[in-house]
Amino acid sequence: MTLTHGGWEIEPLDCGSLGFPAAALGPGFDDPTARPVLATLWRGHGRIALVDSGAGAFDELWPGAAGLTGAFERAAVGADDLTEIVLTHLDFDHSGGVVVGTLPDGLTPAFGSTPVRVLDVDLDFWASDVDSPPLRVGPRVLRVLRKAGVLGTFSDQEEVLPGVRARSAPGHCAGHCVLEVDGEDGTLLHLADLIHHPVHVEHPEWDHLNDRRPEVALATRTALLAEAEHRRCTLIASHIEGAGRIERRDGRAVWITVS
């Protein structure tokens, strides 16, 4: 479903799915539980921007989310059409698609000279490869982009695309951010990895998949979800199909899918 908001046409790009551990989603889930991996294509204001990119070259580490090329074909857009790329954070299933080649050292930028920007908050965390677990791909992605001269940064509260503001959302991953854009029908929030399943609106404490700082992540998640409910924001998220809104049903905060 393509959303129109703030002068943008925002189209989800299905990069595949990953089997998330049930213990990281909450009680009652199968183990594993498949969750979609969605990048988004933003067309408007004379731009064609990609937000996040699936697993790309790192698919071999946790297979299932390397489908960006096929998603581009379905969206009738070519890699050369992109004007810029924004990464909400550097987890492998969000940043991996901006590089191509073979691991560990045969990687190059997937989109040539197209600029790729990341949040500058906590960026020093990614400065070293020392003792990095395999799925911590941030150092390698940054090194490849920096060497090619295509890496850029943005700051908390900065407008990263026309009318689109980045907001630091700490705890889940170093440099994790959400995106906010105002339109005639209110505010749209791209939650990135703030939540991984609609049930986490009611139970934010269940969502701790790979949180770097769980207590900080929970505080961020709880505050932003409360704000989104209060402001009646339209919501999209990297691992939830479709758009939603938070409403109260029988005293509970729940994710309501919107068309």
CA distance 238 to 55: 12
**Residue 1: its pLDDT value, please?**
82
Identify the pLDDT of residue 130: 55
pLDDT at 208: 87
Q: How many domains does the chain have?
A: 1
- Three-state SS for the chain is CCEEECCEEEEEEEEEEEEECHHHCCCCCCCCEEEEEEEEEEEECCEEEEECCCCHHHHHHCCCCCCHHHHHHHCCCCHHHCCEEECCCCCHHHHHHHEEEECCCEEEECCCCCCEEEECCCHHHHCCCCCCCCCCCHHHHHHHHHHHCCEEEECCCCEEECCEEEEECCCCCCCCEEEEEEECCEEEEECCCCCCCHHHHCCHHHCCCCCCCHHHHHHHHHHHHHHHHHHCCEEEECCEEEEEEEEEECCEEEEEEEC
Query: Residue 64 belongs to what domain range?
Result: 3-258
The pLDDT of residue 127 is: 77
Phi, psi of 59 (to 5 degrees): -60, -30
pLDDT tens, position by position, for the chain (259 residues)? 899 999 999 999 999 999 999 988 999 999 999 999 999 999 999 999 999 999 999 999 999 999 999 999 999 999 999 999 999 999 999 999 999 999 988 999 999 999 999 999 999 998 776 556 778 899 999 999 999 999 999 999 999 999 999 999 999 999 999 999 999 889 999 999 999 999 999 999 999 878 999 999 999 999 999 999 999 999 999 999 999 999 999 999 999 999 7
Q: Give tens-digit pLDDT for 90-118.
A: 999 999 999 999 998 899 999 999 999 99
Residue at token pair 């500058």: 120
Q: How many CB atoms neighbour CB 22 within 10 A? A: 14
Query: How far, rounded to the nearest angstrom, does the alpha carbon of residue 153 sit from its chain's CA centroid?
Result: 16
CATH of the domain at 102: 3.60.15.10
**CB distance 16 to 66 below 8 Å:** yes
